[in-house]
Structure 1
Amino acid sequence: MLANAPQLAWLHDDCRAWDVPPAPPWIRDVTRSDIPTLALSGGFDAQTAPSNGAYAARTLSRSHAVTVPYVAHVVFADSRCAQTITTSFFDDPAAPDTRCLAGLQPPEFEIAP
């Protein structure tokens, strides 16, 4: 809670209002696992930095960290490419198909009159 982005400061008040007790110290322990894991990030995510996927995956021996460019926080819902990568991961957790990333184009922005 102490290291949240500035836009999440309201969480402190919510926790106090709901009388949420402090989490146990082990909650910050590093997770190590060999369970196949897909860490999917959005390149335009302003809530969870795209680098967090690779950071989370660093101690997961059978993980794949994939950043989908030009997509914000809800990667799976907003990107057909992310959906393809995810379903291919379910089909073969050792080798998700990320070829669609190469064809992605940045969005076109318009200047308002």
Structure 2
Amino acid sequence: HGLGYTTWAYEGLWAPERVAPGRPVRVRVTLRNTGRRAGREVVQVYLARPQDHERPVRWLAGFAAVTAGPGEQVEAVVEVPARAFQHWAGAWRTAEGEVSVLAGRSAADLPLETVITVSYS
């Protein structure tokens, strides 16, 4: 899945604590090229609602590519569209409550996690 010639350390994840339904979210992921060569990494962001058994365990919400030289720290900005928070229930709807935001290099490698609360208030 796009293996490169360097290694990466995922160091930080930031997302707003609260978001109103129908609004996109900007997620920031800080990572460092820990290898000896310059490289490119595609950062993937997933959403999950562990308490919701009618949805997948997690789903891809967005991604962004970054490049960095050896030892360099970079920030990936991933735009998560409002639609990523919705589910089909006769029409597209956004449920209120906590949503886990996970970030990493693939669905099998998500070292960073935070929580966003979706709320009308």
Rg: which structure is higher?
A: 1
Structure ranking higher in helix proportion:
1
Which TM class, normalised by the smaller chain length? under 0.3
TM-score (norm 2): 0.22
User: Which has the larger strand fraction?
Assistant: 2
Question: Which of structures 1 and 2 has the larger relative contact order (alpha carbons within 8 angstroms, sep 6+)?
Answer: 2
